[in-house]
Amino acid sequence: MTPDELLAFAGRHPYLSIALVGLTIALIYTEITRLFRGYKALRPAELTSLINRENALVIDLSATKEFEKGHIAGSRSVQPSQFDPESKLLANAKSLPVVVVCRTGQGSADAAKRLKKAGFEQVYWLDGGIMAWQQADLPLIKGRA
């Protein structure tokens, strides 16, 4: 397609052209903010590696009943309403890898942002949460931690 054809298309379909430009800008903005946010999303396989190699602290923000139904081995249960980067559980972990998980991955991303703002050096969140962990056929532990 030549530039003249693109301009002709844009002239015939202004709303589609504006939508395309808007979507392109939104995608670029999203990717740039993801690069500079200071915490990293992990896939389940990356999390298992981080736990095994660097003894990462895994904080599970699931509701108590959900946590007891199934959680990642070694993870610590913290209720979202009680999540505090300055808590006793996290006080000595500022230089350690800390991974925040929840059921879907949405709430844990917000918690990861709070940890990074509080000065934690290595902050991660499980993209897709426990649901992604289960889809990867990785084991969950039942009961309390």
Claim: this prediction has a pTM higher than 0.85 = no
User: Can you tell me the distance from the alpha carbon of 11 to that of 16, in angstroms, rounded to the nearest whole number?
Assistant: 10
CA 67 centroid distance within chain? 18
User: What is the reported pLDDT for 107?
Assistant: 85
pLDDT tens figures, 63-97: 999 999 999 999 999 998 888 888 888 878 888 89
Is the pLDDT confidence value at 34 over 70?
no
User: Can you tell me the distance from the alpha carbon of 117 to that of 96, in angstroms, rounded to the nearest whole number?
Assistant: 15
Taking each helix axis from N to C end, the angle separating 14-36 and 3-12, rounded to the nearest 10 degrees, works out to 110
